[in-house]
Structure 1
């Protein structure tokens, strides 16, 4: 399993609306058999900054498979208008 960590930046005054949209969009991730977990964290020290943390079976499952689906397009249609800059995405694997 790998973890996708996407750093998302929005206008701080839109936080409540953004969180509601992400909650509604959660189903689009979890509909993928390769998605193992989903959460959104708010960064305390940086108003308007969030970490989207998604578990996947592999990097390819996220980057090659999920990103080609209608569910990804729905996610971007819902959340994309909130982004004030392009998300920064990295993948990690637990070692300990």
Structure 2
């Protein structure tokens, strides 16, 4: 399993609209091959900062499958205009876990 992590800095006046758009976009990403699950978390200290965590079966499912798809173009239209600055996305694999 691969964990995609993105810190999303949303334009301060658009957090409500972002959350509504993200709800729509969730339907897109959750339909993709290799998708396992996702979480969008809002920061308690910084109102317009979010953490996006997406679990994929493989790195290629995200970087090639999702990002290379027509569905990703719709995802971009729904979400990318909310970010300032545009987020860096990183991918992680488990080294150690307390979960069995």
* Fold in common (TM above 0.5): yes
Normalising to structure 2: TM-score of the pair?
A: 0.89
| Deviating 4+ runs (over 2 angstroms) | none
How far 1:75 sits from its partner (Å)? 0.7
Relative to its length, the structure with more helix (as a share) is 1
1:4 maps to: 4
Deviation digits for residues 3-30 of structure 1 (CA, Å, limit 9, x no counterpart): 1011111122211110010011101101
Q: 1: CA distance between counterparts of 2:20 and 2:2? A: 26
Matched pairs, number: 96
1:32 maps to: 32
Q: 2: CA distance between counterparts of 1:54 and 1:83? A: 18
Q: 2: CA distance between counterparts of 1:92 and 1:31? A: 21
Where do 1:1-96 residues align within 5 Å? Answer: 1-94=1-94, 95-96=96-97
SS in 2 for 1:68: coil
Q: 2: CA distance between counterparts of 1:89 and 1:43? A: 17
Give unmatched runs, 5+ long, in structure 2: none
Normalising to structure 1: TM-score of the pair?
A: 0.92
How far 1:33 sits from its partner (Å)? 2.2
Give unmatched runs, 5+ long, in structure 1: none
Q: 1: CA distance between counterparts of 2:91 and 2:10? A: 21
